[in-house]
């Protein structure tokens, strides 16, 4: 059985004193993660950038990637900026191969993602 996906929402200040939302995911991301991924995104403010934190995610399957793409497409539609960090090298490669990096640049850690805002 896969560990249930959990999401924690944090607000941070960027280096430029801009407020941003961080969605911190943990557990595995799969088809059962809809509420944790899409539901959480739908409930946050759309007037500030969002950082997706995958530092505590062990596994993402194709259904989970589809949920992440759904969030990115919605953000793109509304003009909201999204950045991602904390992916393993394997999932950095997968995200690049499926084109996610066109919508959300990838960073190794939170500090480098914050610096890019």
How many structural domains are present in the chain?
Answer: 1
Task: Please enumerate in sequence order all residues whose Cβ is within 8 A of that of 13, keeping only pairs 6 or more positions apart, or say none.
Answer: 19, 20
> pLDDT for 16-48, tens place per residue?
888 999 999 999 999 999 999 999 999 999 999
**What CATH code is carried by the domain that includes residue 75?**
3.30.750.24
Residue 108 lies in a domain: yes
How much is the pTM? 0.95
**Cβ atoms of residues 24 and 57 within 8 Å:** no
Residue 1 lies in a domain: no
């Amino acid at each position: 059985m896969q560990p249930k996906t959990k999401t924690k929402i944090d607000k941070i200040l960027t280096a430029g004193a801009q407020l941003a939302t961080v969605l911190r995911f943990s557990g595995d991301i799969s088809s059962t993660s809809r509420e944790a991924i899409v539901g959480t995104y739908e409930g946050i403010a759309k007037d500030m950038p969002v950082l997706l934190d995958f530092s505590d995610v062990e596994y993402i399957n194709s259904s989970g990637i589809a949920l992440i793409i759904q969030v990115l497409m919605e953000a793109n539609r509304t003009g909201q900026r999204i950045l991602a960090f904390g992916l393993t090298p394997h999932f950095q490669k997968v995200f690049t191969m499926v084109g996610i990096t066109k919508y959300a640049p990838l960073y190794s850690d939170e500090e480098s993602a914050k610096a890019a805002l």
